[in-house]
Amino acid sequence: DAMVIQNPRYQVTQFGKPVTLSCSQTLNHNVMYWYQQKSSQAPKLLFHYYDKDFNNEADTPDNFQSRRPNTSFCFLDIRSPGLGDAAMYLCATSRDRGTHEQYFGPGTRLTVT
Amino acid sequence: GQNIDQPTEMTATEGAIVQINCTYQTSGFNGLFWYQQHAGEAPTFLSYNVLDGLEEKGRFSSFLSRSKGYSYLLLKELQMKDSASYLCAVRQTGANNLFFGTGTRLTVIP
């Protein structure tokens, strides 16, 4: 059974049109992460939640926002997507702080036209 | 800050052994991870080292030397399905997140 679920798997949006990507988990993990991975590059952390505490990486553009309404769900909002935001967006969870293993979802591949 | 270096690409033969190296610089080291990522799929966890030495898990082993800022992933009895990218990632002390290298794309040939 899928433990970290991302919807949709593929998303096409227009330049400047807001888009929301979703992630849900059945693991009841405290920590949820959003990574951006561009072609042939490393996954880059955008932000993470420890429970309800939001932690933004210093170089994450303001164009990217996140919401975590409850333990199971986390959303990535891109307010005005640019062509450079086309990438795979990976959601991951870990049980708690200091827990070493992160579980990744299958990712959402975003195309900006 | 952090810096991670891995070879970009490697090729190995089915049934052989391959070693993928990773060197890193970081302040406050708190663990090194290896993930496997097939094309178009999410990374999956392979191994974790926080102390010096070798961790073995089936056909996969991972080694760490903290003093040298060095790790390797050893894959034995290579199979065609092992063709994937292998990502080295480091966690800093007090941080939850991982800092990933760009990955090594391994191609296994018959």
- What mean pLDDT comes out for the span A37-45? 89
DSSP reduced 3-state for A95: coil
Contact assessment for residue A25 and residue A3, using Cβ atoms and an 8 Å cutoff: yes
Mean pLDDT of B96-101: 83
pLDDT digits (tens, 9 = 90+) for A48-58: 999 999 988 88
Q: In A, which residues are within 8 Å of B47 by CB distance? A: none
Confidence band, pLDDT 50/70/90 cuts, at residue A99: low
Provide the phi-psi class of A16: left if phi over 0, else alpha when psi is between -120 and 50, else beta: left
**Is the pLDDT reported for residue A18 higher than 90?**
yes
Neighboring chain B residues of A101 at a CB cutoff of 8 Å: 45, 48
Task: Take residue A85 and report the two structure tokens written for it.
Answer: 């935001």
- Residue pLDDT, tens place only, A68-97: 999 999 999 999 999 999 999 999 999 887
The total of other beta-carbon atoms located within 10 Å of residue A26's CB is 12
B73 torsion bin: left (phi>0), alpha (psi -120 to 50), beta (else): beta
- C-alpha span between B8 and A50 (Å, rounded): 33
What is the distance between the alpha carbons of residues B88 and A16, in angstroms, rounded to a whole number? 34
**Shortest CA distance from B36: residue in chain A:** A104
Per-residue pLDDT at A98 exceeds 80: no
**Is the CB of B93 inside 8 Å of chain A's CB atoms?**
no
Q: Is the pLDDT at B63 greater than 90, yes or no?
A: yes
Q: What SS3 state is found at A84?
A: helix
Asked if A40 and B87 come within 8 Å (Cβ–Cβ), the reply is no
From residue A43, alpha-carbon distances to B56, B79, B80, B89 in Å are 25, 25, 24, 10
Task: Provide the token pair at A37.
Answer: 């991975």
B45/A55 touch (CB, cutoff 8 Å), yes or no:
no
Spatial CA neighbour of A42 closest among B96, B69, B98: B98
Pairing of the two strands A4-7 and A103-104: unpaired
Quick one: average pLDDT of B29-45? 90
- The residue among B4, B46, B98 with the most chain A CBs within 10 A of its CB, best to mutate, is B98
Length of chain B: 110
Question: What CA–CA distance (Å, rounded) separates B33 from B47?
Answer: 6
